[in-house]
Structure 1
Amino acid sequence: MKTDYWDVTDEQVIEKTGKKLAEWVVIMDDFNTAAKKSNDTVTMLQQVYQVPRYWARTLTTYYLKQKQ
C-alpha cells in the first residue's frame, strides 16, 4: 500500500529542512496557515526558510491534515 507523501517522520523532516515537525507546526500556526491558501504557505516556507518546494508542499499538507 502506498503511503501518503505527507506521512513523514521527524527524522526525514529534520534531514531535509533542519527543523522538527513540531517546529514547523508552530511556524505555520504563527503564519495562520489554516486561514490562507496553501500556496501562500508553500511560498512563505520557500522564501523565508529556504525549504525546497517538495518539502514546503509536504509540510503544508501535513499541517492542514492535522488541523482537520
Structure 2
Amino acid sequence: MTGLKEIRKKKHFSQQKVAMDLNISREALSYYENGKREPSISMLIKMSEYFNVSIDYLITGKEFSER
C-alpha cells in the first residue's frame, strides 16, 4: 500500500494520529503501510474517505485512469 504511506507523509500526519482517527492501533497502520497486513474493504473505504483519495491511490500510489 504505497499510497497510504505517501499520502500520510504528504499531509504531515503521524502514524499515531491516523491510527487514533481511524480507531485502529499504530501497529496495524504500520503493517498496512509496509504490506505485512491487508486492510478489509471497509477499512480501505474509511481510509479513502479520511484522506480524500481513491482506494486505487491508497494501494498503488496512483490514481485510477481509463485505458
Alignment TM-score, normalising by the size of structure 1: 0.34
Alignment TM-score, normalising by the size of structure 2: 0.34
More helix by share: 1
